[in-house]
Amino acid sequence: MSGERILCPVCGGEVEFHTKDSVTICTYCASPILGKYQSRNCVNHKKTLAKAVCHVCGDLICEKCLEKRVGNYGGKLFTIINCSKKSCIDESSWAKPLNPEYQRLTNMDWADSVDNSILRVTGLGAIMMMLFELFFILSMVYIQYLTPWGLADPPNINYWFFIGDNVIVLNIVGNFLSAMILQTALQVFVHERQLASGIMLFFLLILEVLLLVYRGLVFGLLYYPIQWYLAFLVGAFIFATLLIFVGAMMAIRIGWKKRKQFEEARVMLGLRKS
């Protein structure tokens, strides 16, 4: 077997084989590959066709020899497969053995479409909110320091210690809050975090609205002579807010249904008391 070479059917890279029982991983694209004359049968049951590959050692194994596990990695659930060797079991111990019935009862395929919609709506709203905050801070700094209205005496925009200090501080807080909204909006796609993310997104949105109203009053924007500027700010903010609000409500609704599905599955399998 040693020295056999073929081209990877996925990327076309040259692959060299060294063992007859283990799957070889392409060094270019990481695809699992079997050699031309390599056995397709389980390493433990020579007459049984292999159904999987051990993710630890690369051996071909049949259904009797494999163990499926589910692990949480970076907020996403991954299914891994290991063979019955102790070393492979130890390497996979960070993931929990898979309960097929529990997996069936907690299948979330029904939510794939709506999850994608929630992510798009909240993500678009959060991006628009960040762009709004960026435009707001730049325009307010310009108004405060480079226009007669901002530099008027007595001042149209009150300040704490020096002219423009509240414009800078409050707008930095607003940008930080919009970044938190964007980060939370990206979490609504994770099944286990969807409900909590939807609730958090809703409360962050309330803080963002209150902060903007407070800034508008402190900066005296109701009396700003260029009316289209205020109309543009209000319109853009309302549009972004509605997107995030709708996405947050959808995340809360779907997240609650998923939570109930998880709880009912645990009760049915005796993993939790009803």
Phi first, then psi: what are they for 143, rounded to 5°?
Answer: -65, -40
Beta bridge partners of 16: 5
Q: Rounded distance, CA 62 to CA 183, Å? A: 42
Alpha helix segments (H runs only) across the chain: 86-91, 100-105, 112-146, 165-185, 194-218, 227-268
pLDDT in tens, 48-99: 888 888 888 878 889 888 888 877 765 556 778 888 888 888 888 888 777 7
* Tokens coding 95: 């993931």
In this prediction, residue 18 carries a pLDDT of 66
In this prediction, residue 244 carries a pLDDT of 97
- Nearest Cα neighbor of 261 from 191, 173, 157, 174 is 191
Q: Rounded distance, CA 55 to CA 60, Å? A: 10
pLDDT in tens, 224-254: 999 899 999 999 999 999 999 999 999 999 9
Q: Rounded distance, CA 175 to CA 180, Å? A: 9
Q: Rounded distance, CA 23 to CA 60, Å? A: 7
Q: Rounded distance, CA 59 to CA 38, Å? A: 12
In this prediction, residue 115 carries a pLDDT of 92
Indicate whether 41 pLDDT > 70.
yes
Whether the ω angle into residue 154 lies within 30 degrees of 0, i.e. cis, is yes
CA distances from 95 to 69, 81, 89, 146, 272 (A): 6, 10, 10, 59, 20
Contact at 8 Å (CB) between 39 and 45?
no
pLDDT in tens, 134-159: 999 999 999 999 999 999 988 999 88
- Nearest Cα neighbor of 61 from 36, 89, 95, 37 is 89
What is this structure's pTM?
0.69
> 108 Cβ partners below 8 Å, 6+ apart?
191, 258, 261
Q: Rounded distance, CA 81 to CA 66, Å? A: 6
pLDDT level of residue 1 (50, 70, 90 thresholds): very low
Number of other CB atoms surrounding residue 248 within 10 Å = 27
Indicate whether 22 pLDDT > 90.
no
pLDDT in tens, 164-217: 999 999 999 999 999 999 999 988 888 888 999 999 999 999 999 999 999 999
Q: What is the DSSP string of 16-63?
A: EE--SSBPEEPTTT--EE--TT---B-SSSTTSB--EE-TTT-BEE-T
Indicate whether 8 pLDDT > 90.
no
Longest dimension (CA), the chain: 93
Place of tokens 């919609």: 117
- Nearest Cα neighbor of 31 from 3, 6, 2 is 6
In this prediction, residue 52 carries a pLDDT of 85
Place of tokens 């500027």: 229
